[in-house]
Structure 1
Amino acid sequence: MAIKQLIEAPLVVVTNREPYIDERVAGGIRTIQTAGGVVSALDPLLQEIGGNWVAWGSGNADIEMSSGGQRQVPPERPRYTLNRITLSPEEVQGYYAKYSNQGLWPLSHMLIERAQFSRRAWQTYRSVNQKFAKRVSAVSPPGAWVFSHDYQLALFPAFVRKTRPDVTIAHFWHIPWPPLPIFRLCPQHQEILRGLLGADVLGFQSEQDVEYFLNAVERTLKTTVNRETGRIDWQGRSVHVKSFPISVDVNAIEAMVESPRIRRWVRGIRRHVDRRDQILGISVDRADYTKGLLPRLDAMKEFYTLYPQYRERVTYLQIVVPSRTEVAEYRRFYEQVEKKTQEVNQRFATNGWKPIITLPHSLDRPRLMGLFRAADFAVVSSLVDGMNLVAKEFVAAQVDKRGVLLLSETTGAANELEHESFPINPLDPEGFANTLHEALSISADERADRISAMRKHLEEHTIYDWMADIFLTLKMAAQSYV
């Protein structure tokens, strides 16, 4: 792997979510590898070069399987050390459910009416970030590179900086960064900024996120910001702030959908669809209010109303995975999605045909990529999204070049794919319906041209390019202190 040549120090990865979970099941304990772009990219890297990964041990058998809080992974062929942080139920509530997901998450997605902050949750959030920093400080070899992630760990970089000034830290913020008037609604916004500025490299999904962050630092902390270079002078150091749009492993997805098992899976789906002269649409989301699920259902209702010729022809499969079920608001939201889906189906369903099919659980990754390959169109209609890798996964899986992508203009992915996808406003149901009609009306050649152009972009901007860019910037930051 060429990336390893850029890494000149021991690597320590830090995430809220762990790459492997030990779960107690009937008959024993099962180790599950978690899904997601960061895990799929960094796990193979650590397997090759070794190192440490520090994360919250959330599995019900994690403690049992972790001697001294450590677990060698992967279990079948150990290559690196997973360091698990144990959190009490009260810590999970305050740090994760409340401050992170009821405070920072909605605020960053500019849904201010949903944001809830409490000083008690803040204290827990702060103490858990200290707990992560203490473990990382203990396991990091001299001069290590620390690669930490996201809004759950905003205070972490500064805490590590205090105890381990010898390490070099890159922190990547995966979700949107809000404009200053919204960010200021966080009661602890200055502490959040100071925490992040403990890093040497700060990464965001888009240039807009970078601009918003630099503006917040300049106006809130009254420190020097160089907007041309993206550097901040802070406590005698230079913090490098840059946009690193995350991506996917195109070759791995292609290999997945071309495997014999998935090819058979796709052929079976297409035979069923083509035999009935159907058009298959798909969306894949966690049951989260930022993903635009309820407005999307309004748009599908509008589509079947305005274009009755598509009734009994367009079947829309929505995979909606329950998320953060420990938060009552998320449970209520999932119930709302179910109710609105039933309303659309009751209005338009006929004998033998239902317009919207809901799959309330995730599929294994190969079969999900197979569904993307089989689909005629995909919808990504997030209200706001840092990137949204579903859009890129759909494009990568479209090796037959049959599908079209309807993509919210307010996702990070739209910055890269807006010219070949069909842009939609998630809050404009009639415009959404008209765009879907337009997308389904183009020729097969135009569909192939659009997908080909997007695939070419992804082949030139993979998740490995994302990692290489971050590590190269981290390398330069480390050298600046020598």
Structure 2
Amino acid sequence: MRVPGERAGSVPRRAGDERGRYDLIVAGERVPATDPDDSVDHVDAALASLRPFVAARRGAWAAVPDGTAPAEADVLTTDGDGDEARLGSGLLRSLYHHQPAEFPPGWFEPYEHANHALARAVAGSAGPGGTVWVHGHQLQLLPRMLRRMRPDLATAVHLHSAFPPAESFSRLPEHRALLAGLLGADVVALPHHRAVDNLLDLAGRVHGLPVRDGQVAVGNRRVRVLACALPADTGGMRRLTRLPRVRERAAEIRSALRVDGPVLLSIGGWDPADAVEQRLHAFDRFLAEHRPEPGTVALLHVACGEPRTPEELEQRELVDRHIAKINGTHASVGQAIVHYVRTGPDRRELAALYLACDGLLATPVHHGTLHGPHEFVAARGARGATVVVSELTSGATDLPGAITVNPHDAAAFAEAIARAAGCSGPAPQAGIAPHEPALDVWAEHVLAAVRARAAAPTVPRPRRVPPVPGHTRPPLPERTVLRPVPPEPGRRTDVH
């Protein structure tokens, strides 16, 4: 799809732009904080930690403007207002997080225009043969636009949420444009293999594109789709827990709780897929079955962010009511049993929360990756860490000693909480997570894959097979060429 005013192969210029300044441009929904410790989620923290990595490679940052970020030397400026475009990003986020999402008429046009404005800024500032690394839902059209404007650029798009099944994604009328935008990249990186399978299924079975060996043939080139999850910043969390002010804050939190026994930590947003409601049901059942005295065990729930959809607003009301019910039933005067905080902790506060609590409940109900348990174990160190994780997540087997549970099974979940609280013997301790690459090593791996894919020679355009609804696409058959059979020696061939 071509945006009005876009000409295939054109290289836009903007007043004040200096062509060829940057060898690497990282584009995302927002520019990360200068200090990673000021970040409020793991993606922002990781990108902020990569600022020295990007600067060392003559890099810059680009994002849809939000009117709040101060001007910085290494940040590209773009025209337009990104507020309307963020509506589309939020709707796509709901779709990727398995939430109901109603896409109103007209949502796609501002989303498309925001992508085009950023594409022009990037195309006008990237050096010859440079690399563009796109992050997030808001810029899914950007890779294809850049390919039309600057075919010399190598492009990767990185989605940090699970790609939905083809049946869910294809309900969106604009799914063809969104998929075409993603497949404009040389590499599409997703958090785990199930997400990769979903995208390949959409490209092959629904859209009829040839798929083989984790690659999608688009015209005369191939797009590599790989599982490359963002690693947990365990090193950064260990560093934070050694800071005196973080340790002091952890002591303040623990003292304010006034709990002699274990404190379990729960952190989640308002996305129903975070399974906060299931955690509260299980904790309520644990209290009813084991009847611990107030002050001997507690749950600290930290709710992050503000509701962005009607479903999330309803989720907040459910959580509010359920916590009030638990405290009304099981707490005593002056001693809550569920401590409830609505705040978006930065990394320093998060490290203090990890130090102040003994166990962590991290139990989403859909397939995804978990950074919290890895960071929690790293933060606790020799103090020991009890972790309850969901068996539905891709990282459930990565932490030896973690308690694994199906969050939909209330009885098993309540028993898992009892084990974490030490009601049935010593609480099991999660071991050190397997070695994960440092963020700069991980980033270099992704960029090397992009450069290798972009440098690969083009291939003859494969024949497109029309989709067959409800059936898996068969492999492309070998084309048979019929040749005349020569006559046997000495045999007469009559022509009539």
Instruction: Report the TM-score, using the length of structure 1 for normalisation.
Output: 0.82
Give the number of the structure whose alpha-carbon radius of gyration is greater: 2
Match of 1:92 among 83, 89, 92: 83
**8 A contact 1:205–1:245 mirrored in 2:** yes
1:131-185 superposed Cα distances (whole Å, 9 cap, x missing partner): 2212211121111110001222111111111101000001111111122222222
Q: Name the counterpart of 2:368.
A: 386
Unaligned runs of 5+ in 2: 1-21, 459-496
Match of 1:352 among 327, 334, 348: 334
Q: Secondary structure at the match of 1:413?
A: coil
Report the alpha carbon displacement of residue 420 of structure 1 after superposing the two structures with TM.
3.0
Match of 1:265 among 244, 249, 272: 249
Which letter maps to 1:369? Answer: A
Report the alpha carbon displacement of residue 195 of structure 1 after superposing the two structures with TM.
0.9
**8 A contact 1:52–1:83 mirrored in 2:** yes
Partners of 1:118 and 1:17 in 2: how far apart? 24
Report the alpha carbon displacement of residue 411 of structure 1 after superposing the two structures with TM.
2.6
Q: Name the counterpart of 2:353.
A: 371
> Aligned runs of 1:118-197 on 2, under 5 Å?
118-197=104-183
* Change beyond 3 A, Cα 1:429–1:87: farther
1:378-423 superposed Cα distances (whole Å, 9 cap, x missing partner): 1112222532322222122121342211112223332533x53212
1:271-300 superposed Cα distances (whole Å, 9 cap, x missing partner): 677x84221111222232221222222222
* Change beyond 3 A, Cα 1:276–1:153: closer
Which letter maps to 1:154? Answer: Q
**8 A contact 1:409–1:424 mirrored in 2:** yes
Match of 1:48 among 50, 56, 65: 56
Partners of 1:382 and 1:215 in 2: how far apart? 24
Which letter maps to 1:48? Answer: A
**8 A contact 1:319–1:358 mirrored in 2:** yes
Q: Name the counterpart of 1:337.
A: 319
Partners of 2:351 and 2:329 in 1: how far apart? 31
* Change beyond 3 A, Cα 1:345–1:393: same
Partners of 1:127 and 1:388 in 2: how far apart? 33
Q: Name the counterpart of 1:399.
A: 381
Partners of 2:121 and 2:199 in 1: how far apart? 28
Match of 1:290 among 266, 273, 276: 273
* Change beyond 3 A, Cα 1:193–1:116: same
Partners of 1:443 and 1:392 in 2: how far apart? 24
Residue 189 of structure 2 corresponds to residue 200 of structure 1: no
Partners of 1:289 and 1:101 in 2: how far apart? 15
Partners of 1:208 and 1:357 in 2: how far apart? 36
Q: Name the counterpart of 1:438.
A: 419
Q: Name the counterpart of 2:76.
A: 83
Residue 47 of structure 2 corresponds to residue 39 of structure 1: yes
Report the alpha carbon displacement of residue 39 of structure 1 after superposing the two structures with TM.
2.2
Residue 260 of structure 2 corresponds to residue 255 of structure 1: no
Q: Name the counterpart of 1:105.
A: 93
Which letter maps to 2:302? Answer: I
> Aligned runs of 1:443-482 on 2, under 5 Å?
446-447=428-429, 450-452=430-432, 454=433, 457=434, 459-481=435-457
Partners of 1:434 and 1:10 in 2: how far apart? 54
Q: Name the counterpart of 1:241.
A: 225
Root mean square deviation, CA, Å? 2.5
Q: Secondary structure at the match of 1:363?
A: coil
Give the aligned length.
431
Q: Name the counterpart of 2:31.
A: 18
Match of 1:428 among 409, 413, 418: 409
Which letter maps to 2:137? Answer: Y
Which letter maps to 2:306? Answer: S
**8 A contact 1:373–1:399 mirrored in 2:** no
Residue 208 of structure 2 corresponds to residue 222 of structure 1: yes
Q: Secondary structure at the match of 2:129?
A: coil
* Change beyond 3 A, Cα 1:345–1:85: farther
Partners of 1:159 and 1:119 in 2: how far apart? 23
Q: Which moved more, 1:155-164 or 1:245-254?
A: 245-254
**8 A contact 1:133–1:159 mirrored in 2:** yes
Q: Name the counterpart of 1:6.
A: none
Unaligned runs of 5+ in 1: 1-8, 22-31, 73-80
Which letter maps to 1:354? Answer: A
Partners of 2:411 and 2:428 in 1: how far apart? 24
* Change beyond 3 A, Cα 1:373–1:86: farther
Instruction: Report the TM-score, using the length of structure 2 for normalisation.
Output: 0.80
Q: Which moved more, 1:301-310 or 1:196-205?
A: 301-310
**8 A contact 2:166–2:201 mirrored in 1:** yes
Which letter maps to 1:360? Answer: R
Q: Which has the higher helix share?
A: 1
**8 A contact 1:232–1:238 mirrored in 2:** yes
